[in-house]
Amino acid sequence: GAVVSQHPSRVICKSGTSVKIECRSLDFQATTMFWYRQFPKKSLMLMATSNEGSKATYEQGVEKDKFLINHASLTLSTLTVTSAHPEDSSFYICSASSHRGSLPLHFGNGTRLTVT
């Protein structure tokens, strides 16, 4: 089945630094990738949607200058948390789909970000 690889799985960084998270589709071309944030014991919150070669679409309340998303190729999307603060600590999960999202989403294993 479709495989989505997400790296790193865990990262600890200091306040004010930036962190990049990568999401790769390993065996299919992901025309659409999604970035979610999951708070402890909560559901997934969609942050943004990226289509290859175009700007990401951010959900209401998500700061696009803080969470930079780049979808430069059909197999790679990156999320950069800029000037991280402790409140950005969370579990970030990417997912990918081909055919502009018409097929079921496949998820990466998530990245646990801790900002100290």
Partner 1 sequence: GEDVEQSLFLSVREGDSSVINCTYTDSSSTYLYWYKQEPGAGLQLLTYIFSNMDMKQDQRLTVLLNKKDKHLSLRIADTQTGDSAIYFCAERSSGTYKYIFGTGTRLKVLA
Q: How far is the CB of 24 from partner 1 (least distance, A)?
A: 13
Nearer to partner 1, 2 or 13 (CB): 2
CB contact at 8 A, 12 and 114: yes
Query: Measured from the CB of residue 10, what is the shortest distance to partner 1 in angstroms?
Result: 9
Q: For the chain, what is the HEC assignment? A: CCCEEEECCEEEECCCCCEEEEEEECCCCCCEEEEEEECCCCCEEEEEEEECCCCCEECCCCCCCCEEEEEEECCEEEEEECCCCHHHCEEEEEEEECHHHCCCCEECCCEEEEEC
Q: Judged by CB, which is closer to partner 1: 74, or 82?
A: 74
CB 87 → partner 1: shortest distance, Å?
A: 21
Pick 82 or 101: Cβ nearer partner 1:
101
- Decide if 77 contacts 50 (C-beta within 8 A): yes
Closest contact distance (angstroms) between CB of 23 and partner 1 is 10
Q: Which is nearer to partner 1, 57 or 80 (CB)?
A: 57
Binding site for partner 1 (CB under 8 A): 1, 4, 6, 32, 34, 42-44, 46, 49, 93, 95, 97, 100-102, 104-110, 112
